[in-house]
Amino acid sequence: MAKIIRIGTRESQLAIWQATQVKDLLQKNGYKAELVHIKSEGDIDLKTPLYEMGVQGIFTRSLDAALLNNKIDIAVHSMKDVPTQLPEGIVQAAVLKRGSVKDLLVVKDELAVIFNRLGYAKSEWTALINEKSSLVVATSSIRRKAQWLNRYPASIIENLRGNINTRLQKLNDENWDAALFAVAGLERLDLIPENSIELDWMLPAPAQGAIMVVCRSEDSEIREACISFNDADTAFCTKIERDFLRTLLGGCTTPISGYANMEAEDVHFKGNILSPDGQQKVEFEIKMPVWEASGLGKFAAEQILAKGGKEIAESIPDAEE
C-alpha cells in the first residue's frame, strides 16, 4: 500500500499513546502512517458525570463520523468505550494485546491509615470489611461507584472527570480521601502513584485494558494491514465480554462488569450487574473449554438475568438505551 494510513485519535495523552502504538505496528510491517487528532464529545464536557451523558459512544462518535466521511482510514479506541453495536459501515479491524484489567485506588493520606479503614492488611484484602468506612472517593464510572458502595456502603462518591493528569491533580486539590482509576491508563503513561493499591476484588468493565482498531467495512487493504497485529486471545475474550454486555442491554447508567481470560485450554468468565447504589448485586462465574465457549457471553448474561439481574436492569433509567 503506497498511501499514508491516516489514524484517527482523540487528543488526550492516553489516546495519543494508544494511536502511536498502532502507528508503530503499521510502520513495523512496512506501512506509512500518520496521526489525525479529533475532538470527542467526552473531551469537551468535563463536568457532567459520564453516566448522565451516555457513556456508550461518547468517546467514539466523532472518530466514527470522521471515518465514515473518509477523513481518516482507521480509528483507535479504548475498547471499553466502544458500543457493542458498531455503526453501519464500520468493522473491527484488530484488537491489540490486552493490558492490565485491574482498577486502582489512589489515596491522599498515609496508606496505613486508609488500609486500616478498608480492611487491607499484609498486602491482601481481608475478610473483615469495615462497612462503616466513610471515605470520600471520586470516580466518573458508574461501575466502579456501584462496586465500591456494595463493599463500603457508607462512603461518599464524588464525580471525577478529565484526562488522567487532570484527575490526579483534582485528587490532590480536592478534599477527597481517594480516587479510582484503571491501571492500564496510568501504567501506559508511567503515572502510577506510589500511594496506590490494585483492587483485586473489583471486577473490570467488559473489554477493559484492550485497544480496538476499526476501519470502513469496504476497505479490504486497511483490514489486511491491521490483521497482522490482531491478538487472537484478546479478541476472543473481549468478544465474550461484549456479548455479555450486549445481552444484558447494558446502557450508559447500568453498572455491568465482565472478565474472560484464558487458562490453558479453558476460558474462565466472571460477570455481574449491580444497582447504581450498590445495594443489589447478581453475579455469575463459569469455566469451560475454549472450543465450547463461542456463546459464553450470551449464556452468562442469560444466567444473570434469570437470577434477578433482569429486575435490576429494568429498574435503572435508560438501562435499555
pLDDT of residue 131: 66
pLDDT of residue 298: 97
Residue 204 placed within a domain: no
Residue 203 placed within a domain: no
Same domain, 158 and 283: no
Q: Of 111, 144, 116, 147, nearest to 130 (Cα)?
A: 116
- Span between the terminal Cα atoms of the chain, in Å: 40
pLDDT at 281 over 80: yes
Q: Where in the sequence is the domain holding 177, given as residue range(s)?
A: 103-198
| CATH code where residue 225 lies | 3.40.190.10
Same domain, 172 and 127: yes
Same domain, 216 and 70: yes
Same domain, 56 and 127: no
Model pLDDT for residues 3-24, shown as the tens digit of each residue: 899 999 999 999 999 999 999 9
In which band, very low, low, confident or very high, does the pLDDT at 321 lie, cut at 50, 70 and 90? very low
Residue 53 placed within a domain: yes
pLDDT at 51 over 60: no
What would the mean pLDDT of 106-130 be, rounded to a whole number?
76
Instruction: Tell me how many domains the chain contains.
Output: 3
pLDDT at 299 over 90: yes
Same domain, 166 and 216: no
Would you state the cell numbers that stand for residue 101, as one nine-digit string?
Answer: 484489567
Same domain, 152 and 177: yes
In which band, very low, low, confident or very high, does the pLDDT at 129 lie, cut at 50, 70 and 90? low
Model pLDDT for residues 183-223, shown as the tens digit of each residue: 999 999 999 999 899 999 999 999 999 999 999 999 999 99
DSSP 152-178: -TT-EEE---S-HHHHHHHHHHSS-SE
Residue 110 placed within a domain: yes
In which band, very low, low, confident or very high, does the pLDDT at 320 lie, cut at 50, 70 and 90? very low
| CATH code where residue 253 lies | 3.30.160.40
pLDDT at 100 over 70: yes
Q: In whole angstroms, how far apart are CA 129 and each of 123, 151, 153, 158?
A: 15, 8, 11, 21
pLDDT at 39 over 90: no
The total of other beta-carbon atoms located within 10 Å of residue 18's CB is: 25
Residue 174 placed within a domain: yes
Same domain, 129 and 188: yes
What would the mean pLDDT of 127-137 be, rounded to a whole number?
74
Same domain, 135 and 87: no
Return the higher-pLDDT residue of 298 and 134.
Answer: 298
pLDDT of residue 232: 96
pLDDT of residue 124: 73
Return the higher-pLDDT residue of 271 and 318.
Answer: 271
DSSP reduced 3-state for 140: coil
Percent of the chain at pLDDT exceeding 90: 74
Residue 238 placed within a domain: no
Same domain, 190 and 214: no
pLDDT at 252 over 60: no
Same domain, 223 and 276: no
**Is there a catalytic annotation at residue 81?**
yes
Minimum mean pLDDT among 245-249, 290-294, 300-304: which range?
A: 245-249
Mean pLDDT of the chain: 89
Same domain, 171 and 111: yes
What would the mean pLDDT of 167-188 be, rounded to a whole number?
94
Residue 136 placed within a domain: yes
Minimum mean pLDDT among 44-53, 132-141, 154-163, 256-265: which range?
A: 44-53
Distance CA 71, CA 36 (A): 9
Residue 235 placed within a domain: no
Return the higher-pLDDT residue of 81 and 300.
Answer: 300
Same domain, 130 and 259: no
Active-site entry in 43, 81, 219, 243:
81
